[in-house]
Structure 1
Amino acid sequence: MPRLLLIVLALVLLIGLDRFARFGAERWALSQLRTDAQAAAELRVSLVRSEIEKQRTLPIVLAQDPDMRAALESRDAARLDALDAKFEQLAIGTRAGAIYLLDNKGVAIAASNYRTATSFVGSNYAFRPYYLRAMAEGSAEHFAFGTVSKRPGLYLTRRLDGPNGPLGVLVVKAEFEAIEADWRRFVEPTFVTDDRAIVLVTSVPEWRFQTTGTIPSEQKAEIRTSLQFGDAELTPLPITVDDAASATIRAKLPADPRGRQFVEATAAVPTTDWMLHVLAPTEAAVNLATAAGRSLALLVGVLGLGAAGFWLLRRQRLLGEQTRQAAMRRDLEERVAARTAELSAANDQLRAEMAERRRARLAMQAMQDDLVQASKLAVLGQIAASVAHEVNQPVAAIRTFAENAELLLARGDTGMVRSNLSTITTLTERIGAITGELRAFARKTPGEVEHVSLRGVIDGAHLLVGHRLREQEIALSVEMAEADIIVVAARVRLEQVFVNLLQNAIEALSGQTDGRIRIDARTEGERVTIIVADNGPGLPPEVMSELFMPFTTTKPKGLGLGLVISNDIIAECGGTFVAENRDGAVFTITLPRAL
């Protein structure tokens, strides 16, 4: 029973939605139609007004033409013929229905249609209201049915005055056949009524001179007597109110005697007492809107009922799953607790591994520093003998000068004693410089970069290996682009690089009589390029590809670590280290320039 009740309620809801949608869609469609019809009415009013205003200016301009006054005064045949031709050309150019000139008795003496069988020339229009009003007031506008042309139009008149009174009246007839033809291209019937509700201009020819209201019989008789609309019966238009609530009307067209529903839009024609009417058919738009609205309502209703049914089904399922959810929640909590314990253990293990890796990294860094220090000590071992010989000579000289000073002092030659002591001081300073450089070179220092004098680094390295250069008669030349160049590097470690390169070059030039080592330094923007080259046999091709690999050496007793350590030192300073053969071994170093 509850299920049957739900089905009945759903059907009632769908039917209610359908009726509401149909009503709302119909009202919306009629509102849109009314808006569109009003816009069309405003546009067509502009067209009618433009045509009237264009024709209004013509009689005003022509009334100033002296030819017309001359023709009225003289009635000369040649002047009248010229005036006929002028009117004909003006009517063609302005698309006026007719242009003609009446004398002061209402007889047409010249007309634009003088060539046609319906020529106005000779016709008397004194009975026409537009003539009577123009003679009385100076100008007039009057819409009427042509008694000769049998075509309706708006007559625009202008009185021409002479020195002795009115000479005649100029008449311009504006016809609206072109406008009516344009309107017939649209589905909306369009017509213009005057202040008596009589149809003057219309896209439905059968409606011309019918009325939208009731005209009193006296007024109707007066209109017929004036022949303003010919013998028209002035019957009411076949238009009735269809639905007062929706403001729709029903009109019967000649092609559809059963009638159709329309919405009406009206707009006043400025500068006239006319009213323009546009009838927009409702059937197509209303049918389309109601079909779309009903479809949308059905869709919304089905979706709403589906959503409600889904919600009810979902609710039943949720009630059934609450118990299972509670059990699953307890199981999940237990699993989470177990997993949390595992993660805590894994986290502790990860912290321990991170601490171990940190210790390993520090140990590796210490080993690297020890390796650099070991390399320096190995180099010191190689140059120890030469340095000892370098120090032995000043020591022997000091002893000699001291003994001489003792003898000279006994003789009382204090001047020579002072000279000997000065020489001894100079020799001790040289010994101190050599031993100081050795101590600085042997000291274990951190690889902290700073602004370093390149000239000072090269001079320090030269001091350590100078004895071997002199011993083997090897020429060392140093060329720098500037007096001194400041680079960013670790001073002692950079000095070790130059000692290693000079030691290698000295050993490569061993036994060669014209040994030369050249050091060139130049700046290139923010970089400094240093070239250390010798004229020895160069590097063997088989070791070039592995030159900076540990334990790669060409020396019988070498460890193969000097160039590896030198490459690491240059890289730590932010530079590059390249080796090549070019008339001997050439090592190119680049370092950042201190700015």
Structure 2
Amino acid sequence: MTLGWHVPMAPVWRRLPRPVRTLALWSGALLVAAVGAGSAAVWSERSSIDGLRSTGEHRLALYVNNLQSAIQRHDYLPFVLSMNADIRELLRQPGDHALTDRVNRYLATVTREAQSATLFVMDAAGLTLAASNWDTPQSFVDSNYGFRPYFRQAATLGRGSFYAVGVTTGTPGHFLSHAVYDGGRIVGVVAVKVSLDGLEEAWRFGAERVLVTDDAGVVFLSSEPAWRFSTLGAPSPADARRMDETRQYAGIELTPLPVLERRDVDGAAVLTIEDPQGQGATGYLAQAVPIPELGWHVLVLSDTAPVRAAVRAAASVAVFAAVFLLLVVLYLRQRRRRIREGLLAREALERANTELRRARDEQEIRIAERTADLRSANDRLMREVAERERAERVLREAQDELVQAGKLATLGQMAAGITHELNQPLAAIRTFADNAVVLAERGLHDDLRDNLQRIGQLVARMARITGQLKAFARKTKARAEPIPVARAVQNALILIEQRLRLEKVELDCTLPDGEVDVVFEEVRLEQVLINLYRNALDAMRGSPVRRLEVVIEDTGERVLIRVRDSGPGIPDDVKPRIFEAFFTTKDAGGLGLGLPISAGIVRDAGGQLTAANRDGGGAEFVVDLARAGVQKDAA
């Protein structure tokens, strides 16, 4: 038998000196924080790049659509003019001065109506016989453009297009051409020069940088003026020779785009480009899409500053998480003390519960007394509610009449704009009809069929314009049903399209990706939107910059329609009375009923109409409505 004592060995951790344990604890925490911050930064960068790429693809599609629409607006002009009898006669008799003068003036008139840059007619050798700028110092008349690709394409293929800097004017533009046939052979070419400077001006308001390049990598359109006529890489010898022969960029020095760094992040190209003002450099996510029929590429550069901010935020969160874990360890060390304090708190809680039960018994007695008072008050309230409902019915009937009166007043103001909108297709129909007679006499049945089809298309367009106006004027009962918000917004824009064009107002309409419905009566919603559009146009009448923005936001439960202008904003003394009936700030012609009626219509549909000033200047009106699906589920 052995006598002795069993002495347990203390854990190795406890046998270390306290400063060593503290140093090891903090070193481990720093290591965990560093690893977590690095992993979080990599994940955050990839996730943010994916989000930025998705947004860029949507914006890229909008920019491509704007570019194609700007060109297609004038695509029909060369073909239509190639059918003109005077132009054909001029190509037969180029020395007839009276005929030349008549064609020059006709081209000038068409240029003003179509809002194109220049129209001109060339003979089979490329010599310009007539032009819309015949009476200017930069006249195209007697200039030979046979070396230009758009002429050679039209002379061989029947039509052509080419972007270049004008050798006569020195201004860039996109040329569209079409051959003139006489007896089955090409006797000349009609061309139109289209200016795309308006697109660049509009693109400068976007958050991204937009570039358009040709096949040689030359940037000929850019939202950043300093990058225009720069190159994404050195042009090949064949491209350089072709540009010299066609004088595409004559007199302009092509310089490389100042790209400092190129890198790939999860399949996405990120470029670091020197700022045009020389104030450092900026990182951009580069996304491009080709336009095969033009041989162009549209490039969108999205600033990666949000990505860098997200990376910093993710790294910070990872560090805070590591610190939090350390605090948890410290908390566990104090757990024993807190348990002891909890026992004391439990005793105090039991005493408080006893007092609470006593107070609750007293409260029940007072509640019984108060309930009797509430019953009598409720009876009075029910009677008042019945009276209010009767008054609301009368008010709603009066509002319906005011709504119809407002619609008819709006129609009267739009009459001049609609007349101008119909005059353009009527003029085109007359031209096609005159050409049809000539084609019928000459037995050109294929060309005659094309003419008649174009007349039918123009008539259909006029029917859509008058049909939309008829639908807006119809007096209807308020019948709420699910309707697409985007359709109502676009229908209302159609009715003010002519005024936008006449007043040179830039329109920026942002629609949701999918279909978003609200429960509303469609014609009433269109009237509310038209009233907001017209107020915005009136507010911008004296502004140097006229920009109308319409944005639809889908938050999941609510749908917000934002109407923004670049006017002077709402004065502080007007804000409290802006939705007050018969209050107006317009000098003449305003009754002060538009906004009160619109607010009432939105309120009856369960929504809200609000107004506020924007930080950057201008006013913003917001129509807040419940999403159709959310309303149905809630019911």
TM-score of the superposition, structure 1-length normalised? 0.50
Greater gyration radius? 1
| TM value normalised by structure 2 | 0.47
